[in-house]
Chains A and B, each alone.
Chain A
Amino acid sequence: MATYSTQEFKSGLKIILDGDPYTIVENEFVKPGKGQAFSRVRVRNLKTGRTVEKTFKSGDSVEAADIFEQTMQYLYTDGEFWHFMHPETFEQHAADAAAVGEAAKWLKEEDDCLIMLWNGAPLTVEPPNFSELKITETDPGVRGDTSGGGTKPATLETGAVVKVPLFVNEGEIVKVDTRSGEYVSRVKD
């Protein structure tokens, strides 16, 4: 079992606490001039995203988390799992709904995603920053109104609903910022 001592603590280090994987967000060395030294860290739970504070006595060790990130191509979903492929080894990995989370509504086949693996299994899935998706349902466009201003909801091929300008029509492809969930532009074929 690999471990890290508090002397090795720094932001970005991946550790195991209470059986869950965490990343160190911030590490503060604390020591009264004439007293015992401690490490006060802020850590983020990589499963839940929650951030908590923890204090360790200097010299304490914690278990290292076997975590690495890999860009993989999204293949398909069978409803229960989302399947990804390693670009070089062609090895396939299945991520469950907990790992895919919000990313599910942006995933389009063949998109490259950043997968965080814990003990070799997908822990989180990060979609590309921008995704180009077809509109499957929206109210009819207002011809001639390209000046912007008003918006209307549009359902995309992945099921995501985004606000688009009034002039955008069903069947068109739009570019969406997956981080904010906002419409960016129309994409011409």
Chain B
Amino acid sequence: MTGSGAAVELRWQPDAAPRALRLRADLNAAIRQFFAERGVMEVETPLLQGAANPDPAIEPLRVNSEALAGFLRTSPEFPLKRLLCADSGPIYELGRVFRAGETGRHHNPEFTMLEWYRPGFGLDDLIDEVAELINTALRLTGDRTLPVVRTRYASLLEDLLRSTVPTDIAELRQACVTFASMDASTAAVLSSDECLDLLFAVAGAALPTAQLTFVTHFPAAQAALARIDPDDPSVALRFEAFAGGMELANGYDELRSATELAERFAADNRRRESAGLRTLPLDHKLIAAQREGLPACCGVSVGVDRLLMLVGDYDRLRDVLSFTEFES
């Protein structure tokens, strides 16, 4: 120590160790090679957007300067879909996204997302490709891959609850008390979707380590922007990938109908309103593009920082981030 003893020590050093920084560079290169070999084109779309995804569970960061008012993207989904509508063919983007209020062991307000779209793919094809990508990444740190296990959303919850998933709201709230250590008074205000979100989070976190689990057959109410299964309208053509208990990817057989897209957007804003959240300006350009025609395709986004945690055996997201500017 030099100078005054009262000086505040400002921590300026990186959060990630040199090995993690190196691993990120290697992973980015491996991702680009993976898609180059498969003829999927890398694209870049704006981080600054005028419209936002109205999904009530995702809160965008607002940009409000004298020069411009808008949002930092929460994912590149909408511009990528507009490219697909303009006949881009298979595309991917590797870049930063931003989400307000998300900080924790597996969360940071700013993180790296890999999102790609495959025209002509079915959900099973895309699940296979996601597993290949994850196992390709794993080989960066040794001769190892993880076996792939598939389970349905309902089975995952049934394993936790040791019974069928209740449809009655009182029973769902009771399940949150019994299986997710919630007080009855706190659970009493949860909607059935919120109960399911909590039970899903608890069940997902308890998935066996040393395997990739793909959860499929999400309830239609949790479709987000996935198509409803034409053979079974109670489920959506959506999957989530878990590495051990860590959520890693979220994929859809993409909703193509412009009318239904507009309806889901409007429903999201209504849910925002009733939850006391600000409604968001909708992406009318995406609706217009899909009216022109989105090719039948599947798309998925992967949390790259979490993938790095998996590949490098790190415990916290911040262990793979060069710097974390905002902490809880």
Contacts and interface: CB of A to CB of B under 8 A. Distances in A.
Contacts of B202: 30
Interface string A128-149: 0000000000000000000000
Give the contact-size bracket for chain B.
35 or more
A32 to B, nearest CB: 5
Interface stretch (B36-44, B144-152, B179-187, B258-266): B179-187
Contacts of B106: 29
A32 B190 contact: no
A37 B240 contact: no
A188 interface: no
Interface stretch (A55-63, A118-126, A172-180): A55-63
B186 A56 contact: yes
A4 B224 CA distance: 32
B102 A29 contact: yes
Interface string B168-202: 00000000100011110010011001101110111
Given A7-B328, A55-B198, A34 B58 contact: yes
A37 B181 contact: no
B322 interface: no
Contact of A36 (B107, B182, B194, B247): B194
B28 interface: no
A40 B204 contact: no
B19 interface: no
Interface in A20-64: 27-38, 40, 52-58, 60
Contacts of A52: 181
Nearest to B182: A55
B182 A35 contact: no
Nearest to B301: A33
Interface residues of A, number: 25
B93 interface: no
Given A37-B102, A57-B186, A32 B181 contact: no
A32 B197 contact: yes
A10 interface: yes
B128 to A, nearest CB: 21
Given A40-B181, A55-B176, A55-B181, A35 B57 contact: yes
Interface of A: 7, 9-10, 17, 27-38, 40, 52-58, 60
Q: Rank and list the top 9 A-B pairs by shortest CB-CB distance, nearest first.
A: A29-B104, A35-B197, A53-B181, A36-B197, A55-B182, A36-B194, A30-B201, A33-B250, A34-B224
Interface of B: 55, 57-58, 101-107, 176, 180-183, 186, 189-190, 193-194, 196-198, 200-202, 204-205, 222, 224, 240, 247, 250, 303, 328
18 contacts: A29-B106, A31-B57, A31-B104, A32-B240, A33-B250, A33-B303, A34-B222, A34-B250, A35-B194, A35-B196, A35-B200, A37-B57, A37-B102, A38-B197, A40-B180, A52-B181, A54-B181, A60-B186
